[in-house]
Structure 1
Amino acid sequence: MRAHTSTHTNLHTHTHTNNPANSLTTVRNLGILAHVDAGKTTVTERILYTTGTTHKRGEVHDGTTVTDFDPQERDRGITIFSAAVSCRWDGHRINLIDTPGHVDFADEVERSLRVLDGAVAVFDAVAGVEPQSESVWRQADRHGVPRIAFVNKMDRAGADLDAAVASIRERLHPVPLVVQVPIGSEDAFTGVVDLLRMRALVWADGARTPEEGPVPDALREETAHRRRLLEEAVAERHPAALEEFCDRETLTGATLAGALRDLTRTGDGVVVLCGSAYRDRGVEPLLDAVVTYLPSPLDVPPVRGTHDGAEQERRADAAEPMAALAFKVNATPTGRLTYLRVYSGTIEKGDTVWDAGTRRTERIGRILRVRADRHDPLERAAAGDIVAVVGLKSARAGSTLCAPGAPLLLEPPGVAEPVVHVAVEARRAADTGKLASALARLTEEDPSLAVRTDPETGQTVLSGMGELHLEVAAERVRREHGLEVAVGRPGVAHRETVGAGVTGFVYRHVKQDGGAGQFAHVVLDVEPWPETGEDGGFVFRSAVVGGRVPQEYVRAVEAGCREALAEGPLGGHPVTGLRVTLTDGQTHVKDSSDTAFRTAGRFGLRDALRASEMVLLEPVVEVTVTVPEDAVGGALGDLAARRGRVTGSDTRGGAVTVTATVPLAELFGYATRLRGRTQGRGTFTARPTGYAPAPTAATTTR
């Protein structure tokens, strides 16, 4: 095992070699993903400590962590904002992003995953896969991010590696490839057996590095059995390993490591390690696994973008034209920081870059290597780097920055639609303008927040992903901007959908005010369409025959229909879950135009929805409630009173976990109620699952 002192290299100097490709092989851009309280931030802190980046172990409960540096994170004991840090291990640079675990901040995870090459998924050895673990795993699946798994808290009462692995297999459906055997259990957990090198690593109390030794006699038989199972699982999925296994009936350590690397990077397997980050046990092997199995920027496909409608790609090469994606914006007292993943080329201090979204130039003032809230200046950043830059005025999360002479637009991270809103106002009328500026800055930093003015009441409405999300935003306004604000009761963001549609709805748009007029005639069918997919719950198609509506006008009708979805007839809520078919129409030789047919599509669909049976939808969430066995009855009764529908339960270790689907509107204040009913012993988590008809089942037929 490498000595701890071997990692004390010059951590903050950005060096360059004569062969940029070789240096890229030693870079790892990874995220730490997990359910809240699985130990994600503690794992990050121990990585920083083990690599010599910090010289004191940060503790979540003491508020001394490096990555949870925001006052609200330290007050609440949870990660709210993704934090980037950089460290070195075994000659490799690791750019690491610690992501939030609470569902309200899932968009922070989404933006981080967009720029990462790999991830470490942290699981609780007692709880196994928890709801948010599943959500972030699915997010990583969508982005094709290779992962390794770290089963944390092996020193806790009830810790069970096999049970945790079984839950990974059953709920997440990967092929878990366990490469360690724990030595001791629960409080007696002292180390692991490395199945590749068939050696024991034991951490004595207070020791900074493990002692390496032979496999303990008591574990020899089990270790041999598990090594055999690992070899068989790998050989089943890797052709080269299968060939060696058939010839020799075993695999060498080198073949096994190479096959595990390939399976991790293709997603055909997930390497599983275990440990206790809080007690500094298992962190060094985890770091070894990161550099051994997770990909470098050269191991992932070239990034793809578009320019003038044509698709282009850029390789991770400093010689390519520069292309970078902004994934986070943070306003600090010393300036506006924009976090970038550089995909190709090189950025130097003072460079002029092109923002492909806003189509304007920006100047790079400074480049910084990031250590959470601390920064080290750099002269340049090259392909594969994750850095922060100062000086950009208009770039937002999702902006593409590129070389002015080689424009490229990269796909930005997706932004979820807000589901909860509150009215906010300054307590002093003189602060109204300052509040507007503060909210504008918040939405600039966090695209999942939205601000609008209610047209009926004139109130400022702040929308976000959940109650906690909005609480944090309001507290930031108070702390960072010194404003006293009043916050109304939270409400949910409803949607409207079609219960029963209409067929052959005719709309004629005729306008004549002198000169060229406007003429468009459309016939629409509207029907329910429950499949959402990438179209956001709206499907448009044309069944027009004989060229009665030219194709360019068909596109204009679709654009108008999409505009009509912004406000439904029940309460002005967005409309989803419908299919619109243009079945017929007429044109005028002089007065028909794109504008006329776009207007006909907008007003035609608006009137067609008024003639349909509409249903009001409310957001629903899947709630996982864990309570002592003697409190189950009260918890179930409370869920029923909140219109909850129980979908499953499980008893383990004297606690019962109940899963239910509950309308989001019924969960406001639930945390306080649950703690009161269970004397503080009950906990719950929630994740969005979609929309369902509201209890009033508001419909209209006109």
Structure 2
Amino acid sequence: MDLRNIAIIAHVDHGKTTLVDELLKQSGTYRENQATTERAMDSNDIERERGITILAKATSVEWHGTRVNIVDTPGHADFGGEVERILSMVDGVCLLVDAAEGPMPQTKFVLAKALGLGLKPIVVLNKVDKPDAEPDRALNEVFDLFANLGASDEQLDFPTVYASGRSGWADLELDGPRKDLSALFDLIVRHVEPPKQIAHRDEPFSMLATTLGSDPFIGRLLTGRVQTGTLKAGDTLKALSRDGDRIEQFRVSKILAFRGLSQQPIDVAEAGDIVSVAGMTKATVADTLCALEIENAIPAQPIDPPTISVTFGINDSPLAGKDGTKVQSRVIRERLMKEAESNVAIKIEDTPGGESFIVSGRGELQMGVLIENMRREGFELSISRPRVIFREEDGQRMEPIEEVTIDVDEEFSGAVIEKLTGPRKGDLVEMRAAGAGKTRIIAHVPSRGLIGYQGEFMTDTRGTGVLNRIFHDWVPYKGPIQGRRQGVLISMENGTTVAFALWNLEDRGKLFLGAQEQVYEGMIIGEHSRDNDLEVNPLKGKKLTNMRASGSDEAVRLTTPTRMSLEESIAYIDDDELVEVTPKIVRLRKLHLDPHERKRQSRAS
């Protein structure tokens, strides 16, 4: 059967996974009476909850005698390690762009990777049926982006499709019939070249592993595109590391190919196809699986280095061990090493004491997803504030800066620019009207300045702003950047909070918890209205006398507490604070407090 391998790349929420749903339906992958789910490729619970793609996943459809392997890629730069590996498996890309928003930061990120590999893109202007869609403007911006990224003349001569993934149609003209996706299918078959590997089917077998998975019945699975030769179940292979060192020799127990949403066993894998191989015990991502006579490993695509690090440690608070089942440092280390094996964008280091581990990655979202997965598996952890990774170049300290693209209502643009270019030491690159009363702001801001900014940004724009960020470059260190301005309210007692005590504390600042909740000494229960930390007693009840009863006064009415999500908590804490994460709850706590400061605060309160 004729073969095509293509990846769908786009910014977050531009409609990749929804378009793949329609491609599967219209290619006849589903039975007529088969129950289907929306965004079928987002199989992970967190992907479904957040509406984002985290893991790259492959599927295949048949169109008029041609099998099309389609890879759905993450749109967020934090998961760019997935994109970089996956693009080496395909021969073309569909670049999906929202006709209203135009190219966004993550569009630029994934497109730069695709153009660097010499892939020829097809541009799909999606959501052209939206009321605020401007397909001509979006197309001009896409062309300018191609030119800025150094696209070749052949890549600049890209075909364009106008589509609505949700409605299930795509046309070569904006005023086309709008019936189905046949125009997109035909263009993929016509524009994307068949795999060059097909010409090497007579050579010894070799394959570069790009993703790692597991099956409860057949064990470890490595997925990749067959570079040369053919493979049958039962063949003996060896695994080579990136450096060409021999890792292991193994017998192939099963070969699986993507057929629709499932993987099915096949007898023979041929050069050019994307398959999963089972039978190995040690080989992992970026290793080469090959015939015994091959000596050299296939070069693996380099992965961009991590930009932030977070310290994972055991939960040693007074309330530790009440919710989770996995609390030992040994178990936490095993889980982190397992994650680093399948996710090449993450690096793990042991600290000298062995009780905590430094996890380096691409961004706060990537760390947040890893922590969320671990807490759902029953882990209890303590998490430090994210720290930016610096590096030395010619004796000069360099730090990462990010390109921030913001869409806000015009009335809030002044406050946003003031925050970014003032205390956060960013540089304004561009500011222009984006239509519908919106302003688009593009700035280069140090990564340090963006840690914890998301919550402040949503407050400044009253929840209407949209912020996207992507790694831009390394620049000389810009000097100290002020962290959180407000102090915190810290519990000085162990026990259960009392409504009367919290009611009296409301004048001191905003609270993070309500009545009848467990607290302990050192736990952060709120944000102080001033810039210093304050120890308070949230357990202090009303004094009762024979002149009044506890219920005779007016009932205490508490303000609804501010509940922070996991990501918000990690971004909120300061360097001397930790986030305590359990399967049921997220708490904040102070690491230590100077005795003199404690006395001074006690007198003040």
TM-score (norm 2): 0.71
In structure 2, the residue matched to 1:626 is 407
Is 1:446 equivalent to 2:420 in the alignment? no
Which letter maps to 1:672? G
Within-5 A mapping of 1:73-472: 73-173=47-147, 266-267=154-155, 269-282=157-170, 283-298=181-196, 316-334=199-217, 335-357=219-241, 358-359=245-246, 360-370=248-258, 374-427=262-315, 431-455=328-352, 459-472=356-369
Structure 2 contact 238–292 (Cα < 8 Å) conserved: yes
Deviation at 1:107, TM superposition (A): 1.4
* Deviation readout 1:201-230 (Å, 9 max, x if unpaired): xxxxxxxxxxxxxxxxxxxxxxxxxxxxxx
Deviation at 1:72, TM superposition (A): 1.1
The correspondence for 1:477, drawn from 374, 379, 394, is 374
CA distance in 2, matches of 1:392, 1:493: 35
CA distance in 2, matches of 1:69, 1:88: 22
SS at match of 1:164: helix
SS at match of 2:467: strand
Within-5 A mapping of 1:586-605: none
Structure 1 contact 621–662 (Cα < 8 Å) conserved: yes
CA distance in 1, matches of 2:438, 2:92: 35
CA distance in 2, matches of 1:667, 1:55: 48
In structure 2, the residue matched to 1:679 is 462
* Deviation readout 1:557-603 (Å, 9 max, x if unpaired): xxxxxxxxxxxxxxxxxxxx33xxxxxxxxxxxxxxxxxxxxxxxxx
The correspondence for 1:488, drawn from 384, 388, 393, is 384
SS at match of 1:95: strand
Q: Note the residue ranges of structure 1 that are not aligned, 5 or more in a row.
A: 1-22, 176-262, 303-314, 497-576, 579-613
* Deviation readout 1:378-415 (Å, 9 max, x if unpaired): 12211111011222222221111111123331101211
Structure 1 contact 418–449 (Cα < 8 Å) conserved: yes
In structure 2, the residue matched to 1:12 is none
* Deviation readout 1:247-286 (Å, 9 max, x if unpaired): xxxxxxxxxxxxxxxx99x535111111111111212211
CA 1:373/1:434 → structure 2, altered by over 3 Å: closer, same or farther? farther
Deviation at 1:353, TM superposition (A): 0.9
In structure 1, the residue matched to 2:9 is 33
SS at match of 1:412: coil
Structure 1 contact 331–445 (Cα < 8 Å) conserved: no
Which letter maps to 1:316? A
Give the aligned CA root-mean-square deviation in angstroms: 2.5
CA 1:658/1:457 → structure 2, altered by over 3 Å: closer, same or farther? farther
Structure 2 contact 327–379 (Cα < 8 Å) conserved: no
SS at match of 1:406: coil
Structure 1 contact 419–492 (Cα < 8 Å) conserved: yes
CA distance in 2, matches of 1:345, 1:28: 18
CA distance in 2, matches of 1:624, 1:333: 43
Which letter maps to 1:87? V
CA 1:462/1:403 → structure 2, altered by over 3 Å: closer, same or farther? same
Deviation at 1:133, TM superposition (A): 1.1
CA 1:627/1:67 → structure 2, altered by over 3 Å: closer, same or farther? same
CA distance in 2, matches of 1:57, 1:410: 44
CA distance in 1, matches of 2:288, 2:400: 33
SS at match of 2:275: strand
CA distance in 2, matches of 1:293, 1:339: 25
Deviation at 1:483, TM superposition (A): 1.6
CA 1:374/1:454 → structure 2, altered by over 3 Å: closer, same or farther? same
In structure 2, the residue matched to 1:512 is none
CA 1:412/1:615 → structure 2, altered by over 3 Å: closer, same or farther? same
CA distance in 1, matches of 2:207, 2:80: 23
Which letter maps to 2:141? S
Structure 2 contact 125–163 (Cα < 8 Å) conserved: yes
Deviation at 1:432, TM superposition (A): 1.6
SS at match of 2:159: strand
Is 1:54 equivalent to 2:30 in the alignment? yes
Structure 1 contact 354–407 (Cα < 8 Å) conserved: no
* Deviation readout 1:20-46 (Å, 9 max, x if unpaired): xxx4xx100110011111111111111
CA distance in 2, matches of 1:34, 1:646: 25
The correspondence for 1:657, drawn from 423, 428, 440, is 440
CA distance in 2, matches of 1:343, 1:281: 34
Is 1:644 equivalent to 2:426 in the alignment? yes
CA distance in 1, matches of 2:60, 2:468: 31
CA 1:370/1:673 → structure 2, altered by over 3 Å: closer, same or farther? farther
Which letter maps to 1:485? L
Which letter maps to 2:341? E
CA distance in 2, matches of 1:493, 1:101: 23
Deviation at 1:624, TM superposition (A): 0.5
Structure 1 contact 328–397 (Cα < 8 Å) conserved: yes
* Deviation readout 1:231-258 (Å, 9 max, x if unpaired): xxxxxxxxxxxxxxxxxxxxxxxxxxxx
Which letter maps to 1:626? D
CA distance in 1, matches of 2:208, 2:359: 27
Deviation at 1:75, TM superposition (A): 1.2
CA distance in 2, matches of 1:337, 1:478: 25
CA 1:155/1:114 → structure 2, altered by over 3 Å: closer, same or farther? same
Structure 1 contact 84–371 (Cα < 8 Å) conserved: no
SS at match of 2:169: coil
Deviation at 1:64, TM superposition (A): 3.3
* Deviation readout 1:639-674 (Å, 9 max, x if unpaired): 123222111012122211100011111212222222
SS at match of 2:188: helix
SS at match of 1:66: coil
CA distance in 1, matches of 2:261, 2:363: 26
Deviation at 1:435, TM superposition (A): 1.0
With 349-358 and 107-116 compared, the bigger mean Cα shift is at 349-358
CA 1:471/1:267 → structure 2, altered by over 3 Å: closer, same or farther? same
SS at match of 1:141: helix
With 369-378 and 323-332 compared, the bigger mean Cα shift is at 369-378
* Deviation readout 1:292-346 (Å, 9 max, x if unpaired): 1111114xxx6xxxxxxxxxxxx63322211111111124544322112101111
Deviation at 1:361, TM superposition (A): 1.2
CA distance in 1, matches of 2:259, 2:364: 30
CA distance in 1, matches of 2:38, 2:259: 14
CA 1:56/1:45 → structure 2, altered by over 3 Å: closer, same or farther? farther
CA distance in 1, matches of 2:361, 2:259: 28
Identity %: 31
SS at match of 1:107: helix
User: How many equivalent residue pairs?
Assistant: 453
Structure 1 contact 342–386 (Cα < 8 Å) conserved: yes
CA distance in 2, matches of 1:408, 1:332: 29
Within-5 A mapping of 1:495-534: 495-496=391-392
In structure 1, the residue matched to 2:526 is none
Structure 2 contact 8–96 (Cα < 8 Å) conserved: yes
CA distance in 2, matches of 1:415, 1:273: 31
Deviation at 1:93, TM superposition (A): 0.4
Which letter maps to 2:402? V
Structure 1 contact 32–40 (Cα < 8 Å) conserved: yes
Structure 1 contact 347–380 (Cα < 8 Å) conserved: yes
